[in-house]
Amino acid sequence: MNSDSTTVNKKGVRQMFDDIAWRYDFLNHFLTFGIDIWWRRKAIQLISKKKGAVMLDIATGTADLAIALVKYRNPFQVIGVDVSEGMLEFGKQKIQELELTEQIILQQENGEALSFPDNSFDAVTIGFGIRNFEHPDKGLAEMFRVLKPDGELVILEFSRPNNPVLSHIFDLYFCYVLPHIGKIFSKHKTAYTYLPESVKQFPYGKNFEKMMQQAGFSKTLFRPLTLGIVTIYKGTKL
């Protein structure tokens, strides 16, 4: 991340998400035209159904993915973790309203230094969060550590279309339209400028799949969705 004044350093990500937590859900759905709900569902479909499974959702934010896990995979329990206390507070409110407090537990954690013992979870998920890690390789190593043998990791993250024309349209929207709208509604000067910059720097596709393999994951795969705007990654701990 460069030091430009319009840029948020990764070390300031926690504060940034605290500041925009009140508008986060609205802008997620508004700026993606609601497709983000479908993206999460497609990612969850890659998780094998396991009766009594315990799952970990890292960078859970306001718990959208954790809630979707309960809805579509009905695990015994989902623990959602995030560095942003502000995001977690909004997530807890949603969980209480949906009466899911027995199935979903939210707590503040650093995804690069998880407090859980080795071999704790049947599945680990992370939606639109891995690119915010200061050291994604450390995050992947932690995910591998806390997974049980045969446990599955599913990651959903923004990427870039390979088609040059689509890539140009994507850049116009992500770099100019999205930051302007985000600034108006979130009242935050840099949060939605940080988003396209972080996507540009993220090693998506085969490059990220290689990082997963280096962390120890097997049976890795990646599937672009919506013309390559986002990509689902999956790996298994053997």
- Whether 145 and 215 have beta carbons less than 8 Å apart is answered as no
Lowest mean pLDDT, pick from 3-17, 63-77, 93-107? 3-17
Share of the chain above pLDDT 90, in %: 67
Q: What is the 3-state secondary structure (H, E, C) of the chain?
A: CCCCCCCCCHHHHHHHHHHHHHHHHHHHHHHCCCHHHHHHHHHHCCCCCCCCCEEEEECCCCCHHHHHHHHHHCCCEEEEEECCHHHHHHHHHHHHHCCCCCCEEEEECCCCCCCCCCCCEEEEEEECCHHHCCCHHHHHHHHHHHEEEEEEEEEEEECCCCCHHHHHHHHHHHHHHHHHHHHHHHCCCCHHHHHHHHHHHCCCCHHHHHHHHHCCCEEEEEEEEHHHCEEEEEEECC
Structure tokens at 236: 């298994």
Tell me the mean pLDDT in the region 74-98: 96
Q: How many residues does the chain have?
A: 238
What is the pLDDT, as a whole number, of residue 13? 77
What is the pLDDT, as a whole number, of residue 4? 33
pLDDT band at 1 (very low <50, low <70, confident <90, very high): very low
Parallel/antiparallel/unpaired status of strands 147-158 and 230-236: antiparallel
Residue among 106, 82, 83 nearest 94 (CA): 106
- Whether 196 and 213 have beta carbons less than 8 Å apart is answered as no
Q: pLDDT per residue over 12-46, tens digit each?
A: 777 888 888 877 887 788 778 899 999 999 999 99
**47 φ/ψ angles, rounded to the nearest 5 degrees:** -85, 125
pLDDT band at 3 (very low <50, low <70, confident <90, very high): very low
Annotated binding-site residues for S-adenosyl-L-methionine read 62, 82, 110-111
Return the bridge partners of 77, or none.
Answer: 54
Q: Say if residue 56's pLDDT is above 90.
A: yes
Annotated binding-site residues read 62, 82, 110-111
CATH classification code of 33-160+203-236: 3.40.50.150
Place of tokens 């859980």: 116
Q: What is the mean pLDDT of the chain?
A: 90
Place of tokens 């230094």: 113
Q: Say if residue 222's pLDDT is above 80.
A: yes
Structure tokens at 225: 């969705």
pLDDT band at 223 (very low <50, low <70, confident <90, very high): very high
Return the bridge partners of 235, or none.
Answer: 153
